Amino acid sequence: MARPKLIAIIGAGIAGLSAAKTLAEFGHSVAIFEKSRGLGGRLATKRVGDFAFDHGAQYFTVQKDSFKSIINDAIKAGYAAEWEANRFVGIPGMSSFARILLGQCDVHFGRTIQTIARKGDYWSLCDINGEQVDGFDAVILALPSPQIATILKNSSVKLDAIGALDYHPCWALMLAFNSGADFNAQTLTPDDPIIAWIAENSAKPNRATTHRTFVVHATPAWSVDHLEANAEDICKMLRSKFKEITEIKAEPTMVLAHRWRYARVIEPLGHAFVWDEKQCLGACGDWAIGSRIEDAFISGHMLAKTCFNER
């Protein structure tokens, strides 16, 4: 068997965590670098005081046996539950599901990698503060493809097929009510040019019930038109439309907005990952084969399985 490798993964979303889990099973060492403070990428839960909102991906579905096995493990471990038919959620928040993939891998939070450089037989990473980390046998970029393209450009490194993919953005609205928020359905997909999705977040399994909380996703077209608007204006506009659609007239105790600039790839690449064997450099993500959470998992898993299974 070849010697275990030390592999850097940039991005702690589902694709990066899936790759990390598979690499660890093959006996390799993994270091994950994540710019934010948490795991899961768009599988995100925003917590503000006593409030929690799944403001990114609302649920995940399963088609492949490999992902079904992970979901079953997460349910047994108390990190996931079925919400509706073949709609699963992390508990107590969507980001909790990511924990089942992490294992013992080392994660460096708050580290925004700006450049990568090949130095002889090894890779070196440099973050936005100028701090370097050296000695990696391989690097996996598990980010939205525009962010991957930026790192490659900053580094004067080439990786085929990266950078030409377009995304739909999405503005998300988060609302909390003490009372008077009567809503007869857990989810709603209105036929509306502004709002594409409404969900009662507090109706999901194992959520806090002291307040009724809602997550609203704007349509792609509306999000594009208002991409650079400030969050305060977004709150006002989406709150007004939410009130019109749901007829909930009570005043919310909390209103927040979040912009997902890279919410959903428009036209996926068409194959599970990108890998340059000569450079020992790869890329994976939900931009590869589709925008579902399972697609991100498959992308990271297949990259690791195909390129690093040396037993």
246-264: pLDDT as tens digits: 999 899 999 999 999 999 9
The secondary element (H helix, E strand) that includes residue 14 is: helix 14-25
7-26 pLDDT, tens digit each: 999 999 999 999 999 999 99
Torsion angle in degrees (nearest 10) through CA of 11, 170, 161, 118: -30
> What gap in Å lies between CA 98 and CA 2, rounded to an integer?
29
Calculated CA dihedral for residues 140, 142, 147, 151, nearest 10 degrees:
-10
pLDDT of residue 310: 66
| Spans in the chain with pLDDT lower than 50 | none
List, in order of start, the domains of the chain with CATH numbers.
6-43+94-160+271-308 (3.50.50.60), 167-265 (3.90.660.10)
Question: What pTM was estimated for this model as a whole?
Answer: 0.93
pLDDT at 311: 54
Per-residue confidence (pLDDT) for residue 2, from 0 to 100: 65
pLDDT value of residue 31: 96
What pLDDT does residue 185 have? 82
Tokens linked to 151: 């790192």
pLDDT at position 115 is 98
Q: Which of 53, 36, 60 is nearest to 296 (CA)?
A: 60
